[in-house]
Amino acid sequence: MQADYKSDGTFSGNQQTAAGKGRGRFGTWTVDDSGMYCTDITITVAITQPDKSCGYLFKLRDQYFFAIGSDDRGARVLPRTIKK
């Protein structure tokens, strides 16, 4: 997925499925006082699908990661690429 996150709290982008089909994504993003990053995404396919998630972004050396919001130290962590 590639997305353009704007300073007004909105974003838009696209994602390619495992089958090679593209679909659009757009929505809003926020960061609260604790640093939790949340997105409210709408995925456009034959029908629109909402997707809400929260977690934390962090950096280790030169790599960024997204950790699903949880107190579980074994929670899934996903690598992310951030471009300016």
Q: What is the pLDDT of residue 10?
A: 92
> Structure tokens of 46?
């034959």
Instruction: Give the integer Cα–Cα distance in Å for 51 and 28.
Output: 11
pLDDT in tens, 27-68: 999 998 888 888 898 877 666 666 788 888 888 898 888 887
Q: What is the pLDDT of residue 21?
A: 74
Partners of 52 in beta bridges = 40
If you average pLDDT over residues 13-30, what whole number do you get? 81
Residue 8 has pLDDT above 90, yes or no: yes
Higher confidence at residue 14 or residue 8? 8
> How far is CA 1 from each of CA 21, 22, 32, 70, rounded to the nearest angstrom?
12, 10, 24, 23
Q: What is the pLDDT of residue 46?
A: 60
Where are the domains positioned within the chain? 2-80
